Structure 1
């Protein structure tokens, strides 16, 4: 890895550490992964430690029925996992979170979560309530039901009082209707993956009720081939009834009026791919990836009224704030406008880079015009 590559690699990791200190766990993990993607052939304990802290803290947000962090989520294991696999995960995380070598913020807290999780799984008397029994048998008594998120195919197990309600997926954060599945998708033997086909999803097609029975049957046979989907962290999470005394959190409701439509999802996914193209063009985008700080330019906010950067644009895309491609392009144009406003006299070599970034954006919008206009 050359000097320039090493500098870029360290810069991504420095940003990841700053985001971790600011409790931005998802952002910290993404920048650490970006550093590894930049030079995948160079092992980095520094990046692995950042990812380990972020993963454990994120997993600790999933609660078992007793209100404590779900030990399977913390150790990235599934119920019924081989004890040797649990031990291997515990040793790996303990090594990465060792306080003698990991001085990152929250590393000590993450290590406590890992130790508590392993203690709960290795001691029969303290085993998580979700551990005994088989996942496939869960809900067989009719008190719970399996459902799945239509956006990310993540499978959930909830109490039956939540059947048919609009909930928010804890994996992708999008809203979905908790329609009952006939049972849990079969787990692929020897893996933590399950088979998932379109047959698991309830379909509502306009005019299907009025169609002849034979036509409806014919459509039902047209299912996609099975694909593998990784089991999510909270597949064993049990949601208790409203009158229970424990601290387990119920699923989050999503107001039906705010349900996201397919067109908005397609627009958002297309725009996010365009943002990735802009961010990956590092020869022109490296100055516009993140907000300008007061330390970098003390008078920047005195001159620029509306700061904009690719990191902010990507966040707006993921929150589905853009209603059309024009609003997205306007924010990219704002980056170029700000570059001219602040740097025309100070750093005349910067505005041409911003202009090239806007040109690249226009080309990407033109290439994806069909998807963006649906």
Structure 2
């Protein structure tokens, strides 16, 4: 009966990769005992955005096998690394950037990292905004200090299941850093290469606004999987977001998608929706995936001020739901790219959508 179950599973496609689970090697276990089929599917990311669909289709396919009366579906996950790993032990580096400040880029980066970690991924977060670091405060670790191990490598601080580094944990509180480009370049190099990040599925990097030294240092010294652009809907933000996209294009960094932050506001007393900054403006940036539209909510700001990512503090809020959706869609985009590389030699080429 196991052969019949495997045959049934070969009719179930991964919705993003458009190939069946069997040929993709995603069926880790298929056992049948007394009419009860137990299936374990090894996903390409623990933050798979379509896990529910896969589970439903696996159940339907296996229940059609004669003699099968019940189906249990279990999931595991193995994040496939990029063709050229970014850093030792780090499978993917994802840059979160914007063309200007004030669009909520750091808040998005923190919540992306926390959401991926909550789904079971091993996640690091690098605050590369050296002049205006805010990640430590948003993670509730503003007073913590970075230490070193026996090999004199910096040990990331851990909070909310995420390992992170920020200049805020290395310099005295409130002290301004007055550095020229070479010092900045050296600091970024130490953050990425002289830190004991350990084994990570994703290293999320919160970039400073603009298109300056930090962006150049990272793209020249680290193999980056891709970038996420954060913008608000109004034209003044979109103009600068387009410049950030152009910078990544010139640096040969794929843009994985766009996050439209503060996309709309729902009045808590009336439920009426207001497009304070306009809405849907991110679609003007070109043919890039829209990873999500995140509403403007006071709770996101309050959670950040209290050092708690909104996706963990208030997971049922509209903003948290949108941010979790962004994280899972992003993880799916990364999986598609990694699997495309793995399947490049197969006869039917994978079409990235």
Larger relative helix fraction: 1
Question: What TM-score comes out, normalization by structure 1 length?
Answer: 0.24
Larger relative strand fraction: 2
Mark the structure with the bigger radius of gyration.
1
